[in-house]
Amino acid sequence: MSQSAATSPVAASTAERSAPGTLTLTGAVSFVTRLVLGGLFVWAAWNKLQPPNGPQNFADSVRAFKLGLPDWAVRASTSVTPWIEVIAGAMLILGIWVRSSALVIGVLLAVFIALIGSVIARELNVECGCFGKLSPFCPKKVGMCNIIQNGVMLAGAVYLTITPKTGLFSKS
């Protein structure tokens, strides 16, 4: 129980474990997770959208996965996916609609993991294209590292989805 003299007796009997303005652990973890996950997704999406060849490079990556998609589906996934990533990532960073944004990102990550698993199972030698032309954390060729990378991000998205909205600082 806080030592602060600022709380009234009524507030003290019914309320909070920490004094107003104290950094909460849950709030801090959520804050950092939001920034990191949202930042990674905005950065990944930017690399896929960046002129002059971002969209074409991403389309080539999608086709290299040999999913048997018709042309319209390749175009749709190539153009729409990065923009959903940008919007959801930006919302996470700004703390807007956190659970919904995290859920959208979580679904995207689950799909990416399934696709990468499919590529590995079929022993295809392809580049991930996860961050456009960059591969900051894993080798360019798709492998288990990409699954682990996406798995870690998925854990963050799940955490943000199921954790109740908590501010960075406790409120009075």
**What are the residues binding other proteins (CB under 8 A)?**
49, 51-53, 55-57, 59-60, 63-64, 71, 74-76, 78-88, 91, 97, 99-101, 103-104, 133
The tokens 């959903």 sit on which residue?
84
Q: Which is nearer to other proteins, 20 or 55 (CB)?
A: 55
* Nearest distance in Å: CB 55, other proteins: 5
Nearer to other proteins, 34 or 170 (CB): 34
Q: Which residues contact 83 (CB under 8 A, 6 or more apart)?
A: 45, 49
φ/ψ region of 68 (left if φ > 0, alpha if ψ in -120 to 50, else beta) reads left
- Least distance between other proteins and beta carbon 118 (Å): 16
- Report the sign of the C-alpha dihedral through residues 84, 151, 59, 129, in that order: positive
Q: Cβ closer to other proteins: 2 or 81?
A: 81
